[in-house]
Amino acid sequence: MYRLVPATITVRDLCKSYGDVAAVDGVSFEVGTGEFFGILGPNGAGKTTTLEIIEGLREPDSGDVSVFGLPAWPRNAALLPRIGVQLQASSFFERLTAREQIHTFASLYGVAAKRGDDWLETVGLTEQAGLRTEKLSGGQAQRLSIACALVHDPELVFLDEPTGALDPQARRNLWDLLRTISTSGRTVVLTTHHMDEAETLCDRVAIMDHGKILKAGPPAALVRELDQPLRISVESGLIPADRAAELTGGHVADDGVSLSIATRDPARVLAGLARADALAGLRVTGATLEDVFLSLTGREYRA
């Protein structure tokens, strides 16, 4: 691939085994400057190991990894101030308050404590600043952990399963925060096993399974490449199935709750349904990354 902007991360033919298990098996990709890059796959796919090798925490068995043009292994102290790492919500000092945690990290990076306070405000934790981290909710702890990763304003941020243990509402709240951190040219690398998360947040994703990258690209492009029919569904009982098939020319199924039509010609289907005044409860769904995963592996996606 030809790029005007030099790649922030270059990974080539990366391999890492634990015993007989190949955790990472010949992985290559690049992450451009300012890109929001997602490594997506089920648990045990090798995402975290890949991330840890790029961070410089683990030595690869073979392959090359460079970050800002410098080799990632052995741990390069010159790289550390330029990268931010969020490992897990619980990677905190025991019995310190949220404010004390971020002040400690600020001073480890030689940054003024005030910057820590600003970040607490950015992630919406000003009210909880005096609470010990053990008392924070899962979502609050994740926000704090992201703030601690960003306190020194790094050019490159690694987020390992940032929404891992959160409930759906907390996950969506966190997405808003994650969107804001990729502004101002910062490069973000995120691992996740949530397909929807990768789809909404990432400029580009690499789908990983069994230590290999199956496919990489912008989520929308991956889905479009699948060339799957759209599913258009309305409430059951508005229109008989055979009449719907006749009107729309699509493949119709009615399960008693919804009547759904698979089609590659949505305009005709929607026009037909509109003419029959059968649009109540209308939903149009396209293929998702889960369908991409299904087509790549031949199995249902299970996180």
Query: Concatenated DSSP letters for 78-121?
Result: TTGGGEEEE--TT-S-TT-BHHHHHHHHHHHTT--HHHHHHHHH
Both tokens assigned to 180: 């804001």
Rounded least distance, CB 71 to other proteins, Å: 16
Q: Which is nearer to other proteins, 136 or 216 (CB)?
A: 136
113-122 and 138-150 are packed helices; what angle lies between their axes, rounded to 10 degrees? 140
Q: Out of 43, 90, 180, 285, which residue is the one contacting other proteins (CB under 8 A)?
A: 90
Q: Give 172's contacts (C-beta < 8 A, 6+ positions apart).
A: none
Rounded least distance, CB 200 to other proteins, Å: 27
Rounded least distance, CB 108 to other proteins, Å: 5
105 is a site residue for other proteins (CB under 8 A): yes
46 is a site residue for other proteins (CB under 8 A): no
Exposure on the CB side of residue 92, measured as CA atoms within 13 A:
26
Start-end of H helices in the chain: 47-55, 98-108, 113-122, 138-150, 168-181, 195-201, 219-226, 241-248, 266-275, 289-297
Q: Tell me 133's DSSP state.
A: G
Vertex 27: Cα angle to 56 and 148 (nearest 5) = 35
Could you give the 3-state DSSP secondary structure of residue 46? Answer: coil
How far apart (Å, rounded) are the C-alpha atoms in residues 41 and 276?
Answer: 43
Q: Out of 93, 282, 283, 299, which residue is the one contacting other proteins (CB under 8 A)?
A: 93
138-150 and 98-108 are packed helices; what angle lies between their axes, rounded to 10 degrees? 20
81 is a site residue for other proteins (CB under 8 A): yes
Q: Out of 2, 4, 110, 255, which residue is the one contacting other proteins (CB under 8 A)?
A: 110
Q: Out of 55, 197, 209, 254, which residue is the one contacting other proteins (CB under 8 A)?
A: 55
30 is a site residue for other proteins (CB under 8 A): no
How far apart (Å, rounded) are the C-alpha atoms in residues 50 and 191?
Answer: 10
Q: Which is nearer to other proteins, 191 or 260 (CB)?
A: 191
Place of tokens 């987020």: 159
Q: Which is nearer to other proteins, 10 or 86 (CB)?
A: 86
Q: Out of 2, 74, 94, 227, which residue is the one contacting other proteins (CB under 8 A)?
A: 94
Using the rule CB under 8 A, give the single segment among 2-10, 100-108, 203-211, 233-241 that binds other proteins: 100-108
Q: Which is nearer to other proteins, 132 or 172 (CB)?
A: 132
Using the rule CB under 8 A, give the single segment among 27-35, 77-85, 200-208, 272-280 that binds other proteins: 77-85
Using the rule CB under 8 A, give the single segment among 4-12, 36-44, 101-109, 266-274 that binds other proteins: 101-109
Could you give the 3-state DSSP secondary structure of residue 197? Answer: helix
Q: Out of 5, 6, 13, 18, which residue is the one contacting other proteins (CB under 8 A)?
A: 18
Q: Out of 9, 14, 51, 100, which residue is the one contacting other proteins (CB under 8 A)?
A: 100
Using the rule CB under 8 A, give the single segment among 86-94, 168-176, 207-215, 263-271 that binds other proteins: 86-94
How far apart (Å, rounded) are the C-alpha atoms in residues 230 and 147?
Answer: 40
Binding region for other proteins (CB under 8 A): 18, 55-57, 75, 77, 80-81, 83, 85, 87-88, 90-96, 100, 103-105, 107-110, 132
